[in-house]
Chain A
């Protein structure tokens, strides 16, 4: 006959057993971290073993995903676990290596950053030019007449229900509406470089400007 055990103690023990059991089950038959490999020196992968590329494009995370055959997409709960492992490893590597795990494992170069800034400036400047030009319309009105310094554009509030269009829209839809209505011009295709430039300027100009309902 078992030794008499009080109810609370029994329940605690039961909970502990279940918890441990769940943890054990989680490791066996579920996703398991097996290690990492870089470059092309990959071990021969067995059934249910996958090599997932990490953010640096070189290292691969080797995981055991039993029950999922090669080429088969992982079911969502499994994929989430793998993603969790990737993230955990990324954070650990950042802490230990002191390096930013970026494309090709290298910091941005001066050249790269110059190019990005120059390209952004080019598009924003083109947007600025279009914004201040009557060329988008037919009646000489330009955007900056009502929106000096892109005031009153509030790009951060989109998507929203726009009362003039009677539907929920994005910034580019309102730009087109303004081109067609106050500017009396033809609307731009969404993939038109000019539309991108206008959006770029507006978003850039209004970054960090606080919202004041009904005011500028």
Chain B
């Protein structure tokens, strides 16, 4: 993998992935080139939201804007903080008034490359994802999307920026989401010590990390779900698996059995701890009971604690969890089984995971330092 570089020819990549630049929407907006090496499959960008510099800068402003929350204390960046790997260092997210949610905040880094957003994959685009925390009562707590739009309209700085980005002063929730998504798509980190090792630099990572990489693809059985592929180096299969995290909560088995037999999913979704049912609540498919998204592993060293409920504090404890064979429950994925890794092997795997931090991180932290005010 090559080092990062600004390539004008990326416009050609974008031109194909978003075939029609909607000039009616973007006026004379300049196309924005994403910084991606050509051997990597580009992120899927919706046809109606091609990348432009104006959208990206508007989206950036919105991403860091606490006024989008009911009490003006929480912005996207509160839970997806550049200083904390674009996550928040907490087990579960904390929204307005210190309210806790049920899920660990995923990182925004490289999120544009995933097929699904949220741990249960209920959003298929970044645009759709961006709309939801705004009106989630325990996150940003706005009463409705209309209320968000009104607030944004009411501020002096936004209408001009929206006109530049979308060719109209008429602010809509879709445009707000589109701008945020455009900004998020620029948060790409690819140049890590591991990438340089793959490219041929044998000194890029330690011997322990190299052993860890072999274990990752062998005895650890990690790569079947967290696969690294040269054209898609994000360490996720974009699928959902029950590894038993929810079953650490003893009520899960009972809840899961009820979910299996209950044809009215809405009913089950109101039970205590129902969010542990994960993907099932979206697809209502039995194989999805207790299944959560395979998260990507880039920059994983920065985004402790881990799993959908933040229940694993360190990378080592995550490996130990898999080493035990996850947590038995009626719907445990049949691919999970005890691994019999030695302590040294666990250490090697952790060493490998620590090499996946992109070199862009510090630059990104610096770049957004001012926005965090």
Chains A and B belong together in one complex? yes
Give residues in A with beta carbon < 8 Å to B.
163-167, 180-181
| A166 CA / B236 CA spacing, docked (Å) | 10
Q: Are A165 and B223 in contact (CB under 8 A)?
A: yes
Residues in chain B near residue A167, CB distance under 8 A: 229
CB distance from B241 to the nearest CB of A (A): 14
Residues in chain A near residue B217, CB distance under 8 A: 165-166
A-B contact count (CB 8 A): 15
CB distance from A184 to the nearest CB of B (A): 10
CB distance from B304 to the nearest CB of A (A): 25
Q: Are B228 and A166 in contact (CB under 8 A)?
A: yes
| A39 CA / B193 CA spacing, docked (Å) | 61
A-contact bits for B38-61, CB 8 A (1 contact / 0 none)? 000000000000000000000000
Is the CB of B67 closer than 8 A to any CB of chain A?
Answer: no
CB distance from A2 to the nearest CB of B (A): 54
Is the CB of B218 closer than 8 A to any CB of chain A?
Answer: yes
Q: Are B218 and A166 in contact (CB under 8 A)?
A: no
| A89 CA / B221 CA spacing, docked (Å) | 56
| A165 CA / B217 CA spacing, docked (Å) | 7
Residues in chain A near residue B227, CB distance under 8 A: 166
Residues in chain B near residue A163, CB distance under 8 A: 224
Can you report 15 A-B residue pairs in the complex whose CB atoms are below 8 A from each other?
A: A163-B224, A164-B224, A165-B217, A165-B223, A165-B224, A166-B217, A166-B223, A166-B224, A166-B227, A166-B228, A166-B229, A167-B229, A180-B218, A180-B219, A181-B221
CB distance from A63 to the nearest CB of B (A): 43
| A180 CA / B221 CA spacing, docked (Å) | 10
| A166 CA / B230 CA spacing, docked (Å) | 10
A-contact bits for B203-225, CB 8 A (1 contact / 0 none)? 00000000000000111010110
CB distance from B224 to the nearest CB of A (A): 5
Within 8 A of A (CB), among B302-336: none
| A181 CA / B222 CA spacing, docked (Å) | 12
CB distance from A127 to the nearest CB of B (A): 24
CB distance from A126 to the nearest CB of B (A): 26
Residues in chain A near residue B223, CB distance under 8 A: 165-166
| A167 CA / B232 CA spacing, docked (Å) | 11
CB distance from A10 to the nearest CB of B (A): 46
